[in-house]
């Protein structure tokens, strides 16, 4: 049978371990605000913006360009694949709306959807996807990476996770990536929140 002093010592050790664990959890979750990987990704990028890597892209018109050639402009990027039946269509609608708003306001902002499925999403498929998402043409661009290694580096930098779903499609996280004039990903916003994205971009112009 434990003596009272031993029981007290055991309780004291348990309380210390609990306090240390709670403190670590508080620190790792930014005050218990971060519990999902997506929330973590957004908070991490907001606190430490990430520079876009050199990435050669081919757009829906078949034109090849380096993503960093657009540095000096504010950009909004999202990541899609054209066979996606759900979330990518929502991203497309939001990006199309944003592109139209910036054009109407006379603001030079690049809004672009980048496919992470370049083997399937050739320029014809990108162009078809764009036509399906918007009844009237806009400045919204679609593109695919030319090199797989550069695609992987871009996805890693943006914190985009792409996992095959076993049905010839992919599970992936989705957001509007706000890029400042220094070519840094500074914020990730909900794809449906076009108003917020527009206001955020306007503070960077």
CA angle 168, 175, 42 (to 5 degrees): 120
Distances (CA, A) of 117 to 17, 51, 133, 200: 47, 22, 18, 29
Element containing residue 202 per DSSP (H, E): helix 194-204
Domain with CATH 3.40.30.10 in the chain: 50-204
What sign for the dihedral angle of Cα 145, 149, 150, 151?
positive
So what CATH class is 50-204? alpha beta
Q: What does each of the 205 residues of the chain score in pLDDT, given as a tens digit?
A: 555 555 655 555 444 444 444 444 344 334 444 346 888 899 999 999 999 999 999 999 999 999 999 999 999 999 999 999 899 999 999 999 999 999 999 999 999 999 999 999 999 999 999 999 987 778 999 999 999 999 999 999 999 999 998 888 999 999 999 999 999 999 999 999 999 999 999 999 9
Element containing residue 6 per DSSP (H, E): helix 4-28
């Amino acid at each position: 049978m434990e003596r009272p002093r031993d029981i007290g010592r055991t309780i004291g050790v348990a309380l210390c371990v609990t306090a240390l664990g709670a403190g670590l959890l508080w620190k790792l979750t930014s005050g218990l605000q971060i519990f999902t990987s997506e929330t973590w990704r957004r908070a991490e990028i907001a606190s430490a913006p990430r520079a876009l890597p050199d990435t050669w892209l081919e757009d829906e018109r078949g034109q090849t360009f380096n993503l960093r050639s657009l540095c000096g402009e504010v950009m909004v990027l999202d990541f899609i694949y054209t066979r996606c039946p759900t979330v990518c269509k929502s991203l497309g609608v939001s990006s199309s709306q944003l592109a139209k708003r910036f054009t109407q306001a006379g603001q030079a902002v690049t809004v672009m959807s980048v496919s992470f499925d370049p083997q399937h999403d050739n320029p014809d498929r990108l162009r078809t996807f764009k036509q399906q998402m918007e009844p009237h043409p806009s400045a919204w661009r679609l593109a695919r990476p030319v090199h797989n290694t550069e695609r992987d580096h871009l996805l890693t930098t943006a914190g985009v996770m792409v996992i095959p779903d076993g049905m010839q499609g992919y599970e992936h996280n989705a957001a509007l990536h706000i890029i400042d004039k220094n070519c840094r990903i500074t914020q990730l916003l909900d794809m449906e929140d076009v108003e917020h994205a527009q206001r955020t971009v306007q503070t960077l112009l």
